[in-house]
Amino acid sequence: MKAIILAGGRGTRLRPLTYDTPKGLVPMVTRPFVEYQIDLLRAHGIHQIVFSLNYMAQEFSRRLQDGTRWGVSMEYVVEKAPLGTAGAMKNCEARLDGERALVLNGDVLTDTDLGRLLAEHEERGSDVTITTVAVDDPAAYGLVLADSTGLVTGFLEKPGWDEAAVNTINAGIYVIEPWIIADLPQGREVSFEREVIPALLARGAAVGAHASRGYWLDIGTLRNYLKAHMDILERRIDVVIPGRKAGCGVWSGKNAAVHRTARVTGPVVMGHNVAVQPRAEVGPRVVLGHGCHVGEGAHVSDSVFHDGVQVGRGAKVRRCIIAAAARIGDACCLDSMVVASASVVGAGTRVDPELSAPVAG
Ligand code: GDD
Ligand code: MG
């Protein structure tokens, strides 16, 4: 069976991180995000992955190639213009060889048991099975209503907060029979959530709900992107953390140069060639991408740095996302802020959530 990963969206809610990187490839604890989905699929014996792409499509094939490095095969299907989630599935039809498919939104971090999902789909003989999870903010997602036997009775995409009667939402992980994909309209934009599921329910198709018990998070907002890092660091989801474990919740790549007077308090993940200068304090809950440099006496906590970030002397950085090659000047004080790649924050800049809207907080 093949998996389709829907990864064609523009990732607008993750800007500025997605100006130069598609959402599926943004660094997540120093790995391109999609690697966590590849790991999950492979762990459940799915080795054939079809990427459905539009925005910055060529970046995927350039970075992932044919998938050999991960022990899977990868195909890339690129839309000339975005076709919507169901239009994207239809566009991949020829690659599915008339078989059942597992479809995954390309921005969900999860350890959900795909084996149980597939078994439930099979036992019920469903046309489509929708994985569901319970969340605190259901109005931001697709609401799934199901009866006591697990049959979906209603679906409401992004309801108003006053319509969010349950907290069970669509996790963006489906099993779909080939005849459902065959029936999808071709050559136009089609939303699986707004158009296809309601139509299937109206015509009495067997749509099952599979309640996931695992970890689940849509990383597609800055707040959730930061939260995903914190959850991985705190081991709330069991995924592979890159680097060598150098004791007490600290993972380190090659050539880390941490000065003996600096303090690194786990959980912290450092990429290759990271330098931490005298009396600097890093952690807890920090990711430093490859080639990051933390200046003398600087303090960094609860933050994510992409590759090549430089932090000046005595700077304080808390709850921030700092994109690649950005430079934070000496004595800056930044709280709950996102810094775009290659930008420069002048020495002495102070930003805290009381003074500005906390983008990441
Ligand atoms: N190929 C392709 N073409 N992919 C697309 C397109 C498209 O036109 N539009 C969106 N995608 C991809 C995105 O890249 C993303 O990985 C996935 O489809 C879902 O799109 P989002 O834009 O992230 O949707 P959402 O998070 O607002 O809502 C969806 O996910 C929720 C769970 O996270 C819906 O499926 C909700 O019902 C669901 O609850
Ligand atoms: Mg999303």
Domain extent, residue 151, equals 2-233
Which residues are near ligand 1 (CB < 6 Å)?
Answer: 6-9, 23, 52-54, 79, 82-85, 88, 105-108, 141-142, 157, 169-170, 172, 193, 218, 220
- In this structure, are 261 and 200 located in the same domain? no
Residue closest by Cα to atom 3 of ligand 1: 8
Q: What is the pLDDT of residue 361?
A: 42
Last residue of a domain, one of 207, 233, 259: 233
The atom number, within ligand 1, closest to the CA of 10 reads: 14
Give the Å distance between the CA of 184 and the centre of ligand 1: 17
| Residue 239 within a domain | no
Residues 137 and 101 in one domain: yes
Q: How far is the CA of 220 from the centre of ligand 2 (A)?
A: 5
pLDDT at site 264: 97
Q: Which two tokens stand for residue 72?
A: 């899977």
Domain count of the fold of the chain: 2
* Residues 138, 250 within the same domain: no
Residues 120 and 22 in one domain: yes
Asked if residue 86 and residue 63 are part of one domain, the reply reads yes
Pair 120, 182 in one domain: yes
Whether residues 189 and 299 share a domain: the answer is no
Confidence at residue 354, expressed as pLDDT on a 0 to 100 scale: 64
- Residues 106 and 146 placed together within one structural domain of the fold: yes
Same domain for 115 and 41, yes or no, is yes
CA distance 254 to 85: 40
215/249 same-domain check? no
* Low-confidence residues of the chain: pLDDT under 50: 361
295: CATH: 2.160.10.10
**Which bound ligand lies closest to the C-alpha atom of 172?**
1
Closest ligand 1 atom to 9 CA: 14
Choose one of 233, 261, 292: the last residue of a domain: 233
